[in-house]
Amino acid sequence: MHASSVTPLLTESSRPIFEWRWVERNADAIGQRLGEHIALTATALGIGLVVSLVLATLCLRYRWFYPLVLGTAGALYVIPSLGAFALLVPFFGLTFTTAVIPLATYTLLILIRNIVTGVQQVPAEVREAAIGMGFTRGRLLWQVELPLALPVVIAGLRVAAVTTIGLVTVTSLLGMGGLGYFIRAGIQTTTPNPSPIIVGVVLSVVLAVVVDLLLWLSERALAPWVRKVRAR
């Protein structure tokens, strides 16, 4: 990298904090890492959501299962990300799998809790009306209860997504890391280069805000009744 050119120590501090030139020169790499960041986040969230839906469904049917699942998810949530990666690396190596497993695991606690709470707060009359119309248990869940729980589920998904986007940067230790790659690259040159660090941090925050906003918009599109009820 250009930073490895010999620079006298005294003039080093005159280096600007941020250089647009760096961004222009590395536009392709930035796009590629951004894509990687999104791919890691989406995979982790997707797996987390599917597992959570299965577990939450079981929890709703068998009540004794819920404290057990919540306790396990809570304990897994306590595990520090670096510790989790460290336990997986000897078995899965420096791979996408090693990065995704902990990321997906961290989403379980909030997603399961929000799905179960969301379904539980569906009004009893609605449920009775559906049963009266001949809905089976499965159709009741998928066509009545889960859609009505959608705002709560999406609220959980928003928290999970924002947290995951921040955590992805840590996977740069595994050679993944999406935008975290730049954060790490900034201190691996002979003279530390602030531009990639700033690009990595700022883009990661921007990505989190954009995804949060998109999920919020999708809630308004998928559950328009929430707004109508509030407006009334």
Partner 1 sequence: MNVFTQLGEWLSAPNRWSWTDPAGVPYRTVEHLWFSVLSLVVAAVLTIPLALWLAHYRRGAFLASSAVNIGRAIPSFGLIILFWFLASRWGANTDFWPLLLALVGLALPPLFTNTYAGVVQLEQETIDAARGTGYREWQIMLKLELPLASPVIVAGARVAFLQLVATVAIGAIVNDGGGLGRYIVDGFAEGAQGYGEIFGGGLAVIILALLCEGIFALLTRWATPKGVALQAARRD
CB of 199 to partner 1, least distance (A): 10
| Tokens representing residue 76 in the block | 């897994």
Number of Cβ within a 10 Å radius of residue 138: 9
Contacts of residue 230, Cβ cutoff 8 Å, sequence gap at least 6: none
Of the pair 31, 192, the CB lying nearest partner 1 is at 192
Q: Pick from 27, 79, 133, 213: which binds partner 1 (CB under 8 A)?
A: 79
The torsion region of residue 177 among left (phi > 0), alpha (psi -120 to 50) and beta comes to: left
Among 3, 51, 173, 226, binds partner 1 (CB under 8 A): 173
**Site for partner 1 contains 40 (CB under 8 A):** no
Name every residue whose Cβ is closer than 8 Å to that of residue 155 and which is 6 or more positions away in sequence: 114, 219
Identify the H or E element spanning 144.
none
Question: Is 83 one of the binding residues for partner 1 (CB under 8 A)?
Answer: yes
CB 179 within 8 A of CB 185: no
Restricted to residues 153-172, the positions that interact with partner 1 (CB under 8 A) are: 159, 162-163, 165-167, 169-170, 172
**DSSP state letters, 161-229:** HHHHHHHHGGGGGGT--TTHHHHHHTTTSSS--HHHHHHHHHHHHHHHHHHHHHHHHHHHHH-HHHHHH
Residue 59 CB, nearest distance to partner 1 (Å)?
A: 22
Site for partner 1 in 113-152 (CB under 8 A): none
> Candidates 25-33, 111-119, 148-156, 187-195 — which segment interacts with partner 1 by CB under 8 A?
187-195
Find the binder of partner 1 among 47, 150, 184, 215 (CB under 8 A): 184
d(CA 30, CA 199): 9
Region from 24-32, 59-67, 141-149, 179-187 binding partner 1, contact rule CB under 8 A? 179-187
Q: Determine the size of the site formed for partner 1 (CB under 8 A).
A: 41
84 binds partner 1 (CB under 8 A): yes
Window 196 to 215, contacts with partner 1 (CB under 8 A): 197-198, 200-201, 204-205, 208-209, 212
Q: Give the Cα separation of 204 and 210 in Å (integer).
A: 10
Contact set with partner 1 (CB under 8 A): 13, 75, 78-87, 89-91, 159, 162-163, 165-167, 169-170, 172-173, 180, 183-184, 186-187, 192, 194, 197-198, 200-201, 204-205, 208-209, 212
